[in-house]
Structure 1
Amino acid sequence: MSWLQALVLGLVQGLTEFLPVSSSAHVRITSTLFFGNDAGASFTAVIQLGTELAVLIYFAKDIGRFISAWFRGLFSAEARKEKDYRLAWYVIIGSIPISVLGYVLKDEIRTSARNLWITATMLIVFGILLGLADQFAKHARSELTMKDAIGMGFAQALALIPGVSRSGGTLTAGLFLGLDRAAAARYSFLLAIPAVFGAGIFSIPDVLERGGPHDASVPQMVVATILAFAVGYATIAWLLKYVSKHSYSAFVWYRVMLGIVLMGLLSMDLLPAT
C-alpha cells in the first residue's frame, strides 16, 4: 500500500463513519477505484479504531456516567432505577448481535460479502429504507427502551455487509421505532463503541501477519487511524448539529445515486466486483 492510499483511506473513514452512507463501502470503493486493490476488511476494521476513539473522547463525560451508574446498579437496587444504568445495559445488549454474528460469519465478511454488486445493492436498498423511516415514522420519543436497544442492535449487525452502513442501519431502525433523529443518532454513536473496538482489536493480528503486495505497513496503519480519529471527531459534532435541524434526505439521495453509479461501473467492467 502506498502512503497516498493509506492517507486517503484514513480520510474517507473519518468522513463517512458516522454518516449513514457506509464507511466500509466507501473505503472499499475508494481503494478499488483509485488504487486498483481492496485494502481488506481487516485494514478497514483497524482504522475504525480511530473513529471510535473520537466517540470515546467526544462522549467521555456521558460514558463515564454510564459506567459509574452500571457498577452502582450491580450492588444497589436504588441505583438500578437510574436512566444511565438502563442506558448502559441497552448498549451492552444492543452490542450482542453484531458481536456474535461478526464472529460466526467472519470468513464470509472478509470474502464474499465484499463483492461490490452486494455493496451497490445495499447502498440503494438501505438508502430507500432510511428515506422511508425519515419521512413517515413518528419521531416522537427521546427516551430509549429495551425494544429500541434490541431492534437497533440487530440493525447494527446488518452493517457487517459493506453498503448497509452501521450508523445508517441503526438510525433507520431507531426512526422506525419512533425515536427522534437526535436520540437515534446519539444511541447509534454509543452503540458502535463495543462492536467497533472489538472488531478492530480482533483484526490487528490479521493485519500484522499479512504480507501481500497491497498490504499496509504498521506506520501506514497508525497514521491512517490517527487521521480517521481527527476527521471523525469533527464529523460527530457536525452531524449532531445537522440532524437537529435537517432530515436525512440528502444522505438518502447520495446513497441511491452512488449505488446506481457503482452498478453502472460494474456493468461496463470498469471496476472489478471482487
Structure 2
Amino acid sequence: MEDLIKAIILGVIQGLTEFLPVSSTAHLIITPWIFGWKGSVDSLSFDIAVHTGTLMSLLYCFWKDWIDIFFKERKILVYLIIGTIPAAIAGITFHDFIENQLRNPLIIVFTLVSVGIIMLIAERTGKKQRDNVNFSDALIIGVAQAVALIPGVSRSGITITAGLFKGLDRAYAAKFSFLLSTPAIAGAATLDFYKSLKIGYSHDYTLFAAGIVTAFITGVLAIKFLLSFLKKYPLNVFIYYRWVLAGVIFLLYFFRS
C-alpha cells in the first residue's frame, strides 16, 4: 500500500511537471531523494510507465492537431521533424552521461536558477507577436529541447523561452512546444524501454497502472491549464517557483551533508 501511494504521488508529479515549466526531471529526482524512497518506484521500468502516461496526455489533447499536421499542414510536420533531430542526437549520444553524472542536486539548483533567469529575460524582451513557425524557429527550439535533457532545465520551459526569443506568441510557443515534445517523450520512453530489456523489469503492474493513470490525468490538466494561463499571464510565477525550489534544495543538500 505504501508503494502504491508513492506511485500515485510520483505519477501526479510527473504529469504536472512534465508540462509546466518547472522541470519534471528535477522533481522526480528530488522527491525520492528528500524522502529516501527506494524500490519499484525508483526503477527504470516505473519511469517508463509515468512517461507513457504523459505521452498519452499529449495524444489525447492534440490528436486533432496531429491529424491536421499529417494530412493538411505538412510544412508543420517538416518543422517538427527538424526540431526533433537535435534532441534525438543528444539523447542517443549523451543519455548515459546525463543519467550517471548530471543527476546531482547542486546541478539541479544551478539549472533551475539560471534557466529561470533566461525565462525572465525572454518574457521581458520577446515581441510575442507571431503565431506560426519557420525553419529557423524549429531549429532553435529543437536545440533548446536538446538542452532540456540536463536535469532542472525543463523541456517546456526552455522551448517556450526559445519561442519567445524568436517572437512567437506565448500560447502558440507553448502549443508548438507540446507538439514537439510528443516524439521526444516517445523516443525517450522507447530508449529507456530498450535499456530495461537488458537489466530486467520490475513487474509490479499495479504500480505501473497507478503511475500511468495519474500521470495521464494530471498531464491533461497541466496542458489545458498552461495553454489557458499563457493566453493572459507571463511565465513569472513559474520562474519564482523555480527559484524557491532551488533555494529549498540547496538548503536541504547542506543540512544533509
The TM-score, its normalising length taken from structure 2, stands at 0.92
What CA deviation, in whole Å up to 9, does each residue of 1:8-61 have, x standing for no partner?
Answer: 110100111110000111111112112344926664354122112111111111
Q: CA deviation at 1:204?
A: 2.0
Correspondent of 1:64 among 61, 64, 67: 67
Name 2:173's counterpart in structure 1. 184
How many equivalent residue pairs? Answer: 254
- What is the rounded CA distance, in whole Å, between the counterparts of 1:46 and 1:153 in structure 2? 25
- What is the rounded CA distance, in whole Å, between the counterparts of 1:164 and 1:134 in structure 2? 17
- What is the rounded CA distance, in whole Å, between the counterparts of 1:51 and 1:3 in structure 2? 18
Correspondent of 1:123 among 91, 112, 118: 112
- What is the rounded CA distance, in whole Å, between the counterparts of 2:161 and 2:136 in structure 1? 14
Matched, 1:146 2:135: yes
Q: Which moved more, 1:261-270 or 1:166-175?
A: 261-270
- CA shift in 2, pair 1:30/1:4, >3 Å: same
Q: Which has the greater radius of gyration?
A: 1
* Paired residues of 1:208 and 1:218 also in contact (CA < 8 A): no
Q: Percent identity?
A: 38
- What is the rounded CA distance, in whole Å, between the counterparts of 2:121 and 2:136 in structure 1? 20
Q: For residue 152 of structure 1, what is the amino acid of its counterpart?
A: I
Name 2:213's counterpart in structure 1. 226
Correspondent of 1:257 among 224, 237, 244: 244
- What is the rounded CA distance, in whole Å, between the counterparts of 2:4 and 2:160 in structure 1? 34
The TM-score, its normalising length taken from structure 1, stands at 0.87
Q: CA deviation at 1:205?
A: 4.1
What CA deviation, in whole Å up to 9, does each residue of 1:195-225 have, x standing for no partner?
Answer: 101111221243465469xx67343123202
Task: For structure 1, list consecutive stretches of 5 or more residues without a partner in the other structure.
Answer: 70-83
What CA deviation, in whole Å up to 9, does each residue of 1:153-172 have, x standing for no partner?
Answer: 00001111110000001011
Q: Which moved more, 1:57-66 or 1:184-193?
A: 57-66
- What is the rounded CA distance, in whole Å, between the counterparts of 2:209 and 2:45 in structure 1? 14
- CA shift in 2, pair 1:152/1:164, >3 Å: same
Q: CA deviation at 1:102?
A: 0.4
Correspondent of 1:106 among 95, 98, 107: 95
SS of residue matched to 1:59: helix
Name 1:78's counterpart in structure 2. none
Name 2:14's counterpart in structure 1. 13
Matched, 1:161 2:150: yes
Name 2:54's counterpart in structure 1. 51
Q: For residue 184 of structure 2, what is the amino acid of its counterpart?
A: A
* Paired residues of 1:28 and 1:40 also in contact (CA < 8 A): no
* Paired residues of 1:22 and 1:163 also in contact (CA < 8 A): yes
Q: For residue 251 of structure 1, what is the amino acid of its counterpart?
A: F
Name 1:75's counterpart in structure 2. none
What CA deviation, in whole Å up to 9, does each residue of 1:115-159 have, x standing for no partner?
Answer: 111111101100111111012221121111111100000000111
Q: For residue 130 of structure 1, what is the amino acid of its counterpart?
A: M
**Aligned-pair RMSD on alpha carbons?**
2.0
- CA shift in 2, pair 1:255/1:168, >3 Å: same
SS of residue matched to 2:148: helix
Map 1:67-106 onto structure 2 (within 5 A).
Answer: 67-69=70-72, 84-106=73-95
Matched, 1:172 2:161: yes
Name 1:235's counterpart in structure 2. 222
* Paired residues of 1:28 and 1:39 also in contact (CA < 8 A): no
* Paired residues of 1:94 and 1:152 also in contact (CA < 8 A): yes
